Amino acid sequence: MNRAFVPLIAGAVLLCGCVIHTATGPVQYDSSSIERDASELVHVNLNMGVGDLRVGTGTGKLMQAYFTYNVLAWKPVVRYTPGHLTVEQSGENHGHAGGAKYDWDLRFGRETALDLDANFGAGSAQLDLGALNLRTVNVHMGVGKLDMDLRGSPKHDYSVRIQGGVGEASVRLPADAGVFATAHGGIGEIRARGLRKEGDHWVNDAHDRAKVQIRVDVQGGIGQITLIGDSE
């Protein structure tokens, strides 16, 4: 086994195997909204230790967020200063506990440009980002599953970087924009559908002619990486 992945595996064992006792209670339903301001670009930092994360569009505000949880110590915290938005899980010891429920549903407006950083330790993430005004996307996942949908009609170039831990990552790519994708798996499988391989990377049919280009770099730890062209 590659020694570089020993710490990763050890961390996965800790996350999956340790039972951390947390006090659950009645399910709480909270919401938070951030109005648009004069910021042309906003850096968004999402930090979730454990749970289910959904990101998409569907608001005229900068962000409309809905939270569902039953561990009071994990109450989500939202902070905003012009140009910088942070949403994070409060407390410590974000281990899976029996009966724990923790979901975020985050909706962003299409007008403001976003640098999006998402970090989640254990759980699942559904990121429907194709309709957003993206500049950069960086995702760090620990143990779980990532489904990212970039299908849409972007107006400018942007880059996506995914660093996977133990789990699966699936990325759907647009047809109208040019796509240049690289994927490096530590232990696991790399699949690419609807794309053609050129050397050590994959491109779509629009790569040589499209004015807008998207660069995707996926680095997997343990698991499966799937890149899906929009024609699939």
Cβ-based neighbour number of residue 113 at 10 Å: 16
How does strand 113-128 pair with strand 178-193? unpaired
Task: List the domain boundaries for the chain.
Answer: 3-13+24-228
**40-91 pLDDT, tens per residue?**
999 999 999 999 999 999 999 999 999 999 999 999 999 999 999 999 999 8
Please give the pLDDT value at position 205: 92
Query: What residue ranges of the chain have pLDDT lower than 70?
Result: 1-22, 93-98, 185-187, 222, 231-232
Name the pTM for this structure. Answer: 0.87
In sequence order, the 6+-apart residues with CB closer than 8 A to the CB of 24 are 70, 71, 97, 98, 99, 100, 101
